Every structure is written in structure tokens, then in C-alpha cells.
Structure 1
Amino acid sequence: MNQPSTAPTVERVHARHRYEIKVDGERAGFTAYRDRGEQRVFFHTEIDDAHAGQGLAGQLVQQALADVRALGKRIVPVCPYVAKFLLKHEEFADITDPVTPDVLKWLEAELG
């Protein structure tokens, strides 16, 4: 009989500027960010094909945004998935900043 798999875990991997979600100890996806002062700018979220359709992106982003709140930072949702998530999760509205041309220009320079 198979052991039930453990619940997915999310961890901040600051050296790589991202939060990773792991399933049974293996990375199943990530959401990437860069910090701009008090703002944590999310620009890309990706779940591996093998784990698609399991609701992992939602869990990943939920926990990443909760961490941003705990750190006293603000969210800038450049990533379309994060932006869509925020429309449904108004509990983060108070710490969400708009995506502005300045932010996009800054992000482009950051990412080279």
C-alpha cells in the first residue's frame, strides 16, 4: 500500500529570488520576484507539466503573498497569474501596488 504523499510545501529561496513549491521533496514549480525597496515584484510563475492541474500554483502564490505580508513588504503583480490570483483574493488588496511603467522599466533593467 502506498504511503500518502505529504502536503506540498512552499519555501522562500532568497538567493534565487523565488518561492518554490515542493511535492514529496521535489520542486514542482516556483514564482519569481525581485525586490524594489519595500515592494516585492512578482514577474513569473511556473508549475512543471507533471504537476499541472493540481492547484499548486494557487497554493504557491497564496503562501508567497502571505510571506510578503509577514515581511512587511508590498506586492506588485507583474506576473499575470499573480495578478489574476489577487482579483479573487481581496485579503491582499491592502498591500498590493499597481504595475506602473516605472516598475516595468525597472524590472527590465533588473532582469537584463
Structure 2
Amino acid sequence: MSQPSAAATVEHNDAMHRYEILVDGERAGLTAYRDRGEQRVFYHTEVDDAFAGRGLASRLVKEALTDVRESGKRVVPVCPYVAKFLNKHEEFADITDPVTPDVLHWLDSALG
């Protein structure tokens, strides 16, 4: 039987440019980013189907955005899930920058 989300932990995997949420040591999901100067551009979030419906994506993104705030960076929500989260959580509005064509072009180049 799977553990509830309370057993989950979020870790910043800087080398892989992502935050990961682990349940009992198993990676259940991730949110990926690339840094562009003082901006952390989030472009993809996923939670494995086996862990769906537990609020893990929300917890993952909230902890990632909290880390971004603490690091002094700003957020650019290219990822639709991160954008949706930010629309519901105005406490991060002060560190959110808009998605612009320039950012999208830069991200395409950064991801190769």
C-alpha cells in the first residue's frame, strides 16, 4: 500500500536542474527548470501515475517556489502546471515574471 503524501520530501537536484518529490525514497515526480540570469524558468512538471491524486505536484511546486524566493531568484512559469499554481497562489506574485517570446526562444536554445 502506498504511503500518504505526508511521507513525501522535496529535494533540489541542482545538477539535473530540477526539484524532485520523493515518497519513501522513490522519485514520484519532478519539476524541471533552467536558470536565465536571476530567473528560474520552469518548463515541465510531472508526477508518476502511481502517485497521482495525492497533492504531490502542488506540494512539489510550492516548495520549489519557496526555494526560488529564498535564493533571491524570480520565477518564469512556462510550465502550464506552474502557471496554474501561481494563478491560485498569489503569495508568489512578487517573484513572478511573465513568459515572453524572448524567454521562450532562450529556453528552446537552452534545451537544445
Q: Which amino acid aligns with 1:101?
A: P
Cα RMSD (Å): 1.3
The separation in 1 between residues aligned to 2:11 and 2:72, in whole angstroms, is 17
What residue is the counterpart of 2:104 in the other structure? 104
The separation in 1 between residues aligned to 2:67 and 2:37, in whole angstroms, is 16
1:78, distance to aligned residue in structure 2 (A)? 0.1
Following superposition of structure 1 onto structure 2, how do residues 56-75 of structure 1 map, counting pairs within 5 Å?
56-75=56-75
Q: Which amino acid aligns with 2:23?
A: V
What residue is the counterpart of 1:50 in the other structure? 50
The separation in 2 between residues aligned to 1:16 and 1:50, in whole angstroms, is 23
Structure 2, unaligned stretches of length 5 or more?
none
- SS of the equivalent of 1:104 reads helix
Q: Which amino acid aligns with 1:94?
A: D
1:69, distance to aligned residue in structure 2 (A)? 0.2
What residue is the counterpart of 1:94 in the other structure? 94
1:84, distance to aligned residue in structure 2 (A)? 0.1
TM-score, scaled to structure 1: 0.95
How many equivalent residue pairs?
110
After TM superposition, which residue ranges in structure 1, 4 or more long, deviate above 6 angstroms?
none
Q: Which amino acid aligns with 1:81?
A: Y
**Residue deviations 1:16-53 (CA, integer Å, cap 9, x gap):** 00000000110000000000000000000000010011
1:81, distance to aligned residue in structure 2 (A)? 0.1
Percent of residue pairs bearing the same amino acid type: 75
1:7, distance to aligned residue in structure 2 (A)? 2.0
TM-score, scaled to structure 2: 0.95
1:100, distance to aligned residue in structure 2 (A)? 0.2
